[in-house]
Structure 1
Amino acid sequence: MTRLDDATADLVITELQQRNVPVVRLDPGGFPDRLRLNAFLGGQGMSGSVLTDTRTADLTGIRSVYWRRPTPYATGPGQAERWCGDQARYGLGGILAALPGTHYVNHPWRNRDAEYKPVQLATAARCALRILPTLITNQPAEARRFLMEYRPVLYKPLWNSDYTGPDGRPWTVWVDDVDPDTLDAGVARTAHLFQKRLDKTGDVRLTVVGNRSFAIRIDSPGLDWRRTYDQNSYTLIDTPPDVDNAVRVYMETFGLVYGAFDFGIDRAGLWWMYECNPNGQWAWFPGHITARITNALADRLERPGELCER
């Protein structure tokens, strides 16, 4: 389930095709123009099909779903268009979330539940993962007090919203240091996340696929390694047993099969969790690392019954 220009999904699709595993690529956001639906629900459950211009998927024959990055359901400025968009979301979306006997990586509702950073941090603490002092507020005075107590402090967006600048190009809000003197009344306009900055020696992206995990240490010249992809170094490392066990509990708590965890390593070697993106990107790693994750995902989709029982 993804958009047509998803290069990450392309890797998994190619791997499955090389294994002679049949694949249908669907973008729910293409409904109704490029996707058609026929679903019957009765005493025997659900039956029917979804059809694209080139493929047909029997709703009762879908083994696994890799829920990646579908486009939003089509809508428009008018009341009728918004109504149709809602019907598509709850009709087609409800069907695609209830496929009989299907293994989801991840189920879209589990993705949704696990996307909220406050819930991530609260759950991480309950699962015995280390988290840094964090304040979420819209009160400038409280933000200033937090900055004075825990400095240095970082600002992090709570959600990576699409934002277009006056030049028409997309803008990104990066993780960055906060100077108390720069805080103003703008803090009161919405929720802001402030977090104590870790005195770190490196970062880790821990990519979990079912019972397999891939810890990659990231050494970057900058504060936010997403800004310096080409200058970073990436090294496969072992995950400390206490972190590995806590991450498994975290995944079970949210009902996730896949998760992309971000950690920082302090000068004592301890791992501190920043967040977990339940649908995070992974195909930007060097080829030898990307190949391992591609194979793990393909294994999970091809043999869900066998792997889920381990």
Structure 2
Amino acid sequence: MILIITHKEDYTVDYIVNILNDRKIDYYRLNCEDVFKSKFLVSNDLLPKIHEKSNFKSVWFRRTRLPDLSAIPFHERNYLLNEFDSLLKNLFALIDAKWISEPYQIYKAENKLYQLKLAKEIGFNVPNTIVTNSHSEIKDFYNQNSCQIIVKPLSQSIIHNENNSLEHIFTNLIDKTHIENLSNFDLTPCIFQEYVEKDFELRITVVGEKIFVAGVNSQTDEVAKIDWRKGKLKFYETEIPANIMRMCIKLVKKLDLKFGAIDIIKDKKGNFVFLEINPNGQWVWIENETGLKISEALIDELL
């Protein structure tokens, strides 16, 4: 049996579940926000049972979400949320199965600076990068990179606004006005990188030993030139050199993952430049636009 760890609004899981149902493959979906509604048990054998199920052969770890306890007083809510979080972590640690991928490794792999470190060790080209709260260091970095640098989040790029709806923080250029007025701002944690002139961009999805390469012509749309997510461009299946494929698979393995979604630029000089890897990234839209059989590879890996 496959255990799927997720929440109710994970539409990527919905997509896979439909396929599993069609193929009559046995699975159990744990929506983590309902963990207190699902019967769980850990006894002396330390084999966790979730909804009376324990014979999990593989686990697909997607997302966690804690229960909505907004009606409970603040101090009690914090205590209970910490306890629910600890319960999930304890349950996961006891499940002896094949994971795609193990939660600890995913959380570690989400560290963007750690990603850059490993990518450089493997042999990828990576942009000049700094993370600093020093105004003078940023000004120097701006000048050293021909006044062409970008800023992007150090962690996640999605936030909840005051209406509790989701908004994206995109990659943006730093211009002369920003630098001239830099002293007026406190510097929050973020990544500054040299701006790489792009030919096109790649999303490379690795599942086990299989690799799926999709491209997007981001430079054909003025809105999407800096960050392709701002536009509405269609991805297409493409190819990359064998050595880049090997490095992508090696990076995923080095991060102790079974899955990774890698963002790479092909620059104007023909170089492939690593940006980052999402250890639990989205991919359904790529499969739908390109026909790449990512879901099939994922299910095969779980089986």
User: Is 2:263 the counterpart of 1:262?
Assistant: yes
Q: How far, CA to CA, are the matches of 1:131 and 1:81 in structure 2?
A: 43
User: Is 2:67 the counterpart of 1:69?
Assistant: no
Per the alignment, residue 246 of structure 2 pairs with 245
Change (3 A) 1:169 1:99: closer
Change (3 A) 1:233 1:17: same
Query: Aligned pair count?
Result: 289
Asked if the contact 1:28/1:35 (under 8 Å) is kept, the reply is: no
Per the alignment, residue 204 of structure 1 pairs with 202
One-letter amino acid of the structure 1 residue matched with residue 257 of structure 2: L
One-letter amino acid of the structure 1 residue matched with residue 211 of structure 2: S
Q: Please report how far the alpha carbon of residue 216 of structure 1 lies from its aligned counterpart in structure 2 after TM superposition.
A: 0.4
Per the alignment, residue 35 of structure 2 pairs with 31
Q: Please report how far the alpha carbon of residue 199 of structure 1 lies from its aligned counterpart in structure 2 after TM superposition.
A: 1.2
Q: Please report how far the alpha carbon of residue 268 of structure 1 lies from its aligned counterpart in structure 2 after TM superposition.
A: 2.7
Per the alignment, residue 306 of structure 1 pairs with none
Q: How far, CA to CA, are the matches of 1:164 and 1:86 in structure 2?
A: 21
Per the alignment, residue 151 of structure 2 pairs with 155
Asked if the contact 2:34/2:67 (under 8 Å) is kept, the reply is: yes
Q: Please report how far the alpha carbon of residue 291 of structure 1 lies from its aligned counterpart in structure 2 after TM superposition.
A: 5.6
Per the alignment, residue 136 of structure 2 pairs with 141
Q: Report the RMSD for the aligned CA atoms in angstroms.
A: 2.1
Q: Please report how far the alpha carbon of residue 177 of structure 1 lies from its aligned counterpart in structure 2 after TM superposition.
A: 0.7
One-letter amino acid of the structure 1 residue matched with residue 212 of structure 2: F
Q: Please report how far the alpha carbon of residue 165 of structure 1 lies from its aligned counterpart in structure 2 after TM superposition.
A: 4.1
User: Is 2:33 the counterpart of 1:15?
Assistant: no
TM-score relative to the length of structure 2: 0.88
Cα shift readout 1:229-285 (whole Å, capped 9, x = no counterpart)? 3xx132212221221222222112110000000000012322101000000111122
Q: How far, CA to CA, are the matches of 1:289 and 1:145 in structure 2?
A: 42
Which range is displaced more, 282-291 or 89-98?
282-291
One-letter amino acid of the structure 2 residue matched with residue 204 of structure 1: L
One-letter amino acid of the structure 2 residue matched with residue 64 of structure 1: S
One-letter amino acid of the structure 1 residue matched with residue 108 of structure 2: D
Select 2:105's aligned residue among 110, 114, 128: 110
Per the alignment, residue 127 of structure 1 pairs with 122
Q: Please report how far the alpha carbon of residue 164 of structure 1 lies from its aligned counterpart in structure 2 after TM superposition.
A: 4.0
Alignment gaps of 5+ in structure 1: 303-310
Alignment gaps of 5+ in structure 2: none
TM-score relative to the length of structure 1: 0.86
Q: How far, CA to CA, are the matches of 1:291 and 1:204 in structure 2?
A: 14
Q: How far, CA to CA, are the matches of 2:190 and 2:208 in structure 1?
A: 33
Select 1:191's aligned residue among 189, 192, 199: 189
DSSP 3-state at the match of 2:14:
helix
